[in-house]
A = this chain, B = another copy of it.
Amino acid sequence: MAGEQGLGRQQTEKALSGLRDLVLKGEIAAGERLSEVLLAGRLKVSRTPLRAALQKLELEGLVDLIPSGGYQVRRFSQEDVIDAIELRGVLEGTAARLAAERGVAPAKLKAIHDVVRKLDEAFEPAPPDMDFERYAALNGRFHALLAELSGSNLLVRELERARRLPFASPNAFVGAEGHARAFQQTLIVGQAQHKAILSAIELREGSRAEALAREHARLARQNLDFVLQERPELKDKVAALALMAG
* Residues of A participating in the B interface, judged by any CB pair closer than 8 Å: 8-9, 51-52, 55-56, 59, 61, 69, 79-80, 83-84, 86-87, 90-91, 94, 98, 152-155, 157-158
Contact = CB atoms under 8 A, between A and B. Distances in A.
A155 B56 contact: no
Contacts of A87: 94, 154-155, 158
Contact of A56 (B55, B84, B153): B55
A31 to B, nearest CB: 15
Nearest to A80: B154
Given A84-B154, A86-B152, 14 more contacts: A51-B52, A52-B55, A55-B56, A79-B152, A80-B153, A83-B152, A83-B153, A83-B154, A83-B155, A86-B98, A87-B94, A87-B158, A90-B90, A90-B94
Nearest to A69: B8
A91 to B, nearest CB: 8
> Sorted from nearest, which 8 A-B pairs have the closest CB atoms?
A59-B59, A83-B154, A83-B152, A90-B94, A55-B55, A80-B154, A84-B154, A87-B154
A232 B227 CA distance: 56
Contacts of A79: 152-153
A5 to B, nearest CB: 14
Nearest to A76: B154
A155 B91 CA distance: 12
A148 to B, nearest CB: 13
A92 B8 CA distance: 39
A69 B61 CA distance: 24
